[in-house]
Structure 1
Amino acid sequence: MEDLIERIETERKLRHVWHCLPDEIVEFPFETWSDLRITVAEPDTPYRPGRRFESLLQNTTTLRFLRPEVALMDLCFDLLYQLVGKGVEMTLIDRPECHTYFRSTYPTRSSEMLQQDNFTILEHDDLPQYGTGLLDGCIVVSCYEEGSGTVHALIDTEAPSVREWANSTYETYLASARPVELEQSAE
């Protein structure tokens, strides 16, 4: 009975973000869904997904993220800056506009981060509608509202099948990503 209740609760949370989910997650066996922790933005707690992501970052030593987006990363930029300073390996693949935003909004800290060997930013023009992050202990999938880029939900899990999918997805986009042109970003 507890398993059934847990599955129903998972389905209720997923119902609101179903349209944002990657097709591959939808196709995972239902048993995998019960391993998903879903953090949904609500009218009275719009930053809940961002805060959840920030808590997951606290103890990671690596972060690889495909389409992290401004709405998610801006909330935890201070922590990201600290983690890069502590030697956490980070590679971010995002749209050129996102990198331009951070270089213009945080010029000094962005420049300092870019000078670190453990921080790499790449760009790609044809990214999926969702974000995929690989941390030491878990995988995160960020669901963005189309058009605004608002973080609608964050899904995190330790499920091996999701990690395998996330790693494959990340590697596919990494193969065709290109380095950010710093002169272009600074404009």
Structure 2
Amino acid sequence: MLRFEANVGTARRLTPLLEAVCEDHQEFVVEPFVDATVTVAEPDDPYRPVERFISLVRSSETFRGFNTTHMAPLALGGFHQHVFETTETEIIYLPHIADKLLETYPEQAREAVESGHLTLRTRDDLPYGLALFDERVGIGGYDETTGLMRVFVDTESPVAREWAERVYESVRADSELLADG
């Protein structure tokens, strides 16, 4: 009974995420996220999920993920500089999102790709945002109209890590390496 109650409680806490991803990912299992940090955008702090995501990237030496939009707003040059110069990063984007990143930061992205700090891949369809950091994994849910992150859920659960690795590798296997940065 305690396990059931924990799962129900987790489902309630994850409601903002489930509303954002379940249409695309109906088999989503909540149990690995029992102890997850759930960061939701609020009217007085709409960027809370993005700030949480950025803090995890900054505290990680490696970062892999896929996303339906930019991981962080392109106007956050400091974030992108960190990704281009410090973190070993592999990102899978929709083709037009990768193009926009390269258009916004042409020189920096090219140098990051050449130095091995950045690997860009593309895929025609992505279900939501998934991030794998050194110690944690996270899932982002987005507003379909604005593209803004509504919720970011992250955990250090080993079961969630295994799930995220499987999902990431499956998506990666069906993506294409962007040859030129």
Alignment deviations for residues 107-165 of structure 1 (CA, whole Å, 9 cap, x no partner): 2322222222231000000211x111111010010101124321010000011111111
Distance apart, 1:7 and its partner CA:
7.8
> Aligned partner of 1:28: which letter?
V
Distance 1:71 1:46 in 2: 15
Identify the residue that residue 152 of structure 1 maps to in structure 2. 150
Give every structure 1 segment of 4 or more consecutive aligned residues whose post-TM-superposition deviation is greater than 6 Å. Answer: 6-9
Identify the residue that residue 52 of structure 1 maps to in structure 2. 52
Equivalent pairs: percent with the same residue? Answer: 29
Identify the residue that residue 133 of structure 1 maps to in structure 2. 131
| TM-score, normalised by the number of residues in structure 1 | 0.80
Distance apart, 1:44 and its partner CA:
1.3
| TM-score, normalised by the number of residues in structure 2 | 0.83
Range that drifts further, 77-86 or 102-111? 77-86
Aligned pair count reads: 176
RMSD: 2.7
Where do 5+ consecutive residues of structure 2 fail to align? Answer: 1-5
Distance 1:97 1:109 in 2: 18
Distance apart, 1:12 and its partner CA:
4.7
Identify the residue that residue 91 of structure 2 maps to in structure 1. 92
Instruction: Name the SS of the counterpart of 1:16 in structure 2.
Output: helix
Q: Map of 1:14-93 to 2, 5 A cutoff?
A: 14-21=14-21, 22-25=25-28, 27-29=29-31, 32-67=32-67, 69-70=69-70, 72=72, 74=74, 76-86=76-86, 88-93=87-92
Where do 5+ consecutive residues of structure 1 fail to align? Answer: 1-5
Distance 2:90 2:50 in 1: 19
Distance 2:12 2:55 in 1: 24
Q: Is the 8 A contact 1:71 1:149 kept in 2?
A: no
